Amino acid sequence: MRYGFENLNMNKIWCAYYDGNTKSKRVQEKLGFIYQFTTNDLNVPLMNEVRIGHVNLMTKEQWLLNNI
């Protein structure tokens, strides 16, 4: 995240996890990502599946507040 915000001058970093992947959910929560929305019927063609995906966001402002 530091590289994205400081070197690439990004304003937002998005990440997601599939429903049921509690380890990914927990890591994203620990890093400070904030839940934004859920996508139902998310097509995953490489796995020939349809899943539910949860999307989280970290803004540069949020990251700066947590890393001062």
Q: Which domains does the chain have, with CATH numbers?
A: 2-66 (3.40.630.30)
pLDDT, tens digit (0-9, with 9 covering 90-100), for 13-64: 999 999 999 999 999 999 999 999 999 999 999 999 999 999 999 999 999 9
The pLDDT value given to residue 67: 81
- Backbone angle region of 15, left / alpha / beta, with phi > 0 → left and psi within -120 to 50 → alpha: beta
Q: Is the pTM of this model over 0.85?
A: yes
Tell me phi and psi for residue 63, to 5 degrees.
Answer: -65, -40
- Contact predicate 38/53, CB 8 Å: yes
The pLDDT value given to residue 19: 96
The single-letter DSSP state of residue 46 is G
Q: How confident is the model at residue 1 (pLDDT cuts 50, 70, 90)?
A: very high
